[in-house]
Structure 1
Amino acid sequence: MNLKNKKVLITGADGFIGSHLVERLIDEGAEVKAFCNYNSFGSWGWLDTLPKEKLAAIEIFTGDIRDPNGVRTAVKGTDVVFHLAALIAIPFSYHSPDSYIDTNVKGTLNIVQACKDLNIERVLVTSTSEVYGTAQYVPIDEKHPRQPQSPYSASKIGADCIAESFYRSFDLPLTIVRPFNTYGPRQSARAVIPTIITQLLAGKTEIKLGDLIPTRDLLYVKDTANGFVEIAKANSLIGTDCNIATQSEISIGDLAQKIIDLVNPQAKLLRDDERIRPSKSEVFRLFGSCEKLKQHTSWAAQFDLDKGLEKTVEWFRNSKHTVQYKADIYNI
């Protein structure tokens, strides 16, 4: 599929990955409608930080992904839907699992139901590498068993299953997109890389983290956005799920040291028990396969970890939008 001049809806467009995908699809020549979560502040999230010329090219729709009527209104008149809206913080899912079912499972049902009824040409539903749980083998390909190790991952497994059922039952032209651990500018403080960077830039010399042993497959956000676009173009991926990954891994401890070396080599790591997840819930190893993605598309990562971290630190150091980050608390 050629996305140029296609009318594209992005849910979760106000968020981290969603805002980068908005920019990427504008560059691709798509007509973008951005579904932003309604709030009384009139905030469009990270879209508020885009240049005026880019904002002028976007149609903004405010609503709630849990509302089927609003979702149907947003979907109407579009050709392609990228569904990214979700609750994603794992620690908060321990506290409020109901909200994850409502947002992630019901929200996805609302999307695929509307897309089916309105005959949308192409649908991409965003999953997460968390559905795999701790690796049983590496690299983790799309055939790896699903392991719901947190309420968040359980809700995303449920959402994946709802989406897959609409392909099997109704031939909805759908692909489940499964990014591994995306990082970069605009990521929230609940994630490990912004947690480390914001503490360092606040002048802290003892950096508080949870478990340092788990490994992650880290993907710079522009590579993730490119992955979404390439998957949308690949009709051969309809009816399947597809990882976006770098096929590499690094431990949290080694990652933290890399960032410390970039910002303040005098800083030390300090274990904070509040940040330790329940042992059976922690995903200890994520190391994804990108072979399927490369077989069906021309995607290749453009940013290695060192380059991506340098750009991320630069953004946090220089952006006027980082005042919202709270380095002195544990953000969940």
Structure 2
Amino acid sequence: MRVLVTGGAGFVGGNLAESLAREGHDVTVLDNLDPYYDTGIKERAVEAATAAAESGGGAYEFVEGDVRNAALVEDLVGDAEIVYHQAAQAGVRTSVDDPQKPNEINVGGTLNLLDAARDADIERIVLASSSSVYGKPEYLPYDESHPTTPVSPYGVSKLAADQYARVYHEVYGLATVSLRYFTVYGPRMRPNMAISNFVSRCLNGRPPVVYGDGSQTRDFTYVDDVVDVNRALLRDGSADGEILNVGSADTIAIRTLAELVRDELAPGLEIEYAESREADAEHTHADVGKAAELLGYEPSTDVREGVRKFVDWYRSNREWYEPLVLDAYSNN
């Protein structure tokens, strides 16, 4: 199939584009290479997807551009059969400092894509949403009917985007699916995430740093599971018009996660604690029953196995990846 992946040099988008190219699909990636984190990671994602296309018999094209460019988006959407909209300005804390940028990209860019798709022969648009739309839990696990009261501008922007997708399905008949991701991690993840920080520090004999008291819990989702549920939507229309949680259906306290990494890599270290960070959610936990019912989604990697996989990848890529992690945390 002819597939467009916006944000296809990013973490989830890059892994998805690589997987689709390896399967022989013709993949076009649109990414602006925003230096929100080191663009070297994105360049490696492009290299990996290019190699995957060569081995899989498909085609791969990288287009440097921005989803805020409506004319460019219209051209690219017009050539695609299915669109995976992964492009976004990520970062809860970043959005607190500058709420305008996530609104321009996450809301305005999404509207550009949806408008372009109204006039194109598109089978489906799959949007990356976020667990940040839920905000403070009234109950756990979150199901898709849980109240949406985000606690950051980032969460507001992602909620607006997935609601626009729903409305475009209902009003214009556009086939859309929004996937609310829960804390995705794995190879080529952003270097300023907790797991990459814990692994880097422990491998260098330094104690992992937990922000807050560590009682916060997260539903960590391994990137391969996220890629698999996206791939299921290539031809499966049973979820059209729906909003679905994509998580691991399990949780772990941040303190326990730090201990897990520490015990794996440097058992003698003590955990350090620092002041909690503004707008971070206290708890996340996904009810994935709807995705299981409609798509047969079943997360295959729990956080303990996923951490081991990430540690193995980190060791193999330590020479280029670790300096990025150290730099990301030296600026925080």
Calculate the TM-score normalised by the size of structure 2. 0.91
Give, in angstroms, the shift of residue 330 of structure 1: 5.0
Moved more, 316-325 or 132-141: 316-325
Match 1:272 to one of 247, 263, 274:
274
Give 1:193 shift: 0.9
1:184 aligned residue? 186
Choose the corresponding residue for 1:228, options 227, 230, 234: 230
Please, which moves more after superposition, 322-331 or 99-108? 322-331
2:284 paired residue number = 286
CA distance in structure 1 between the partners assigned to 2:290 and 2:234 by the alignment: 14
Name the amino acid aligned to 2:268.
Q
Q: Is the 8 A contact 1:181 1:218 kept in 2?
A: yes
Aligned equivalents of 2:244 and 2:188: distance in 1?
Answer: 24
Secondary structure in 2 matching 1:50: helix
Structure-1 residue corresponding to 2:75:
73
8 Å CA contact 1:189–1:331 kept in 2: the answer is no
Report the counterpart of residue 321 of structure 1 in structure 2.
320
Q: Which piece of structure 1 moves more, 191-200 or 55-64?
A: 55-64
List alignment gaps of at least 5 residues for structure 2: none
Alignment partner, residue 248 of structure 1: 250
Matches within 5 A, 1:123-162: 123-162=125-164
Separation (CA, whole Å) in 1 of partners of 2:75 and 2:127: 18
Distance 1:220 1:53 in 2: 23
1:210 aligns with 2:211: yes
Give TM-score scaled by structure 1 length: 0.91
User: Which of 37, 61, 64 matches 2:32?
Assistant: 37
For residues 37-75 of structure 1, the C-alpha deviation after alignment (integer angstroms, 9 at most, x for no partner) is 157999753424417532543111110111111211221
Deviation at 1:213, TM superposition (A): 1.5
CA distance in 2, matches of 1:42, 1:254: 31
Give the ranges of 4+ consecutive aligned residues of structure 1 lying more than 4 Å apart after TM superposition. 38-44
- Measured in 2, the distance between the counterparts of 1:199 and 1:83 equals 33
Cα shift at 1:100: 0.7
Residues in 2 aligned to 1:42 and 1:263: alpha-carbon distance in whole angstroms: 28
* Per-residue deviation, 1:18: 0.8
- C-alpha change, 1:307 and 1:49, in structure 2 (3 Å) is farther
Cα deviation for residue 331 of structure 1 reads 5.5
Taking a change above 3 Å as real, the CA distance of residues 197 and 96 of structure 1, as seen in their structure-2 partners, is same
Q: For the residues of structure 1 that align with 2:83 and 2:113, how far apart are their CA atoms? A: 9
Aligned to 2:226, the other structure's residue is in SS state helix
Give identity over the alignment, percent: 29
RMSD between superposed Cα atoms in Å: 2.1
1:50 is aligned, of 36, 43, 48, to: 48
Q: Residue in 2 aligned with 1:3?
A: none
Aligned length: 322
Partners of 2:210 and 2:272 within 8 A in 1: yes
The separation in 1 between residues aligned to 2:74 and 2:49, in whole angstroms, is 29
In structure 2, C-alpha distance between the alignment counterparts of 1:216 and 1:233, rounded to whole Å = 31
Pick which of 236-245 and 34-43 moved more.
34-43
Question: In the alignment, is the contact (CA less than 8 A) between 2:130 and 2:182 conserved in 1?
Answer: yes
